[in-house]
Chain A
Amino acid sequence: QVHLVESGGGVVQPGGSLRLSCAASEFTFSNFGMHWVRQAPGKGLEWVAFIQYDGSKMYYADSVKGRFTISKDNSKNTLYLQMDSLRPDDTALYYCAKDPNPYDFWGGYFDQWGQGTLVTVSS
């Protein structure tokens, strides 16, 4: 059973930085692309970023482009999200999610999700 565990959330001031991690297990992490998806309190879901299985290509939502960086360390089975220049509207529960397509561009949906880590941007 795929297991995804996010960590690194917390309270940060506007303009600050935070790095999220997602530890993956029970599947061959190096074969799959990974996503970050967020959910503001009481709101819907928003895709944030995707990284290809080998880390060679990354894609971002317009709302975070230039401020967030997604990366993955296949030797550590870990996905990361470096968040800089944080804004109050970045406050959300951040989920890592697995892409279903091995060795390929994204499958266009999310077949496994972690439980999320909460990021609060407030002064």
Chain B
Amino acid sequence: VLTQSPGTLSLSPGESATLSCRASQNIRDSYVAWYQQKPGQAPRLLIYGTSMRATGIPDRFRGSGSGTDFILTISRLEPEDFAVYYCQQSSRSLPFGPGTKVEI
């Protein structure tokens, strides 16, 4: 089971966001991916392998962490970054967290 915090993050453009994802257990050899979803759109892969940026993702998105605690950091928020962010673990059943909404 993955939990994400906070549920909602209220920030202004130019500020930085720190999103947390915690796994209920440490599963060996598992990694975390992060997705961005805007209203009416499909999710978009941002980060895979815990810290690798997907193709075309700007370097203001940074993934980190290990074990049971993972972080997505968004530096210098742009207007297009306001969205819902999901973490997802590479373990059996490929679970997702409930999401963090980053709002203006």
Q: Please classify the interface of chain B as helix (H, G, I), strand (E, B), loop, or mixed, using the class held by over half of its residues.
A: loop
Q: Give the contacts of A16-54 with B (CB-CB under 8 A).
A: 35, 44-47, 50
- B interface bracket (residues with beta carbon within 8 Å of A): 20 to 34
Q: Which residue of B45, B86, B89 has the most chain A CB atoms within 10 A of its CB atom?
A: B45
* B33 x A45 contact (CB < 8 A): no
Contact count A vs B, C-beta below 8 Å: 56
Is B75 part of the binding interface, using a Cβ–Cβ cutoff of 8 Å? no
A-B contact pairs, 30 of them (CB 8 A): A44-B96, A44-B98, A45-B86, A45-B88, A45-B96, A46-B96, A47-B94, A47-B95, A47-B96, A62-B93, A95-B43, A108-B30, A108-B31, A108-B33, A108-B89, A108-B90, A108-B91, A108-B94, A109-B31, A109-B45, A110-B35, A110-B45, A111-B45, A111-B54, A113-B42, A113-B43, A113-B45, A114-B42, A115-B41, A116-B42
Top 9 nearest A-B pairs (CB, nearest first) are A108-B90, A109-B33, A47-B94, A113-B42, A45-B96, A109-B48, A44-B98, A111-B45, A44-B99
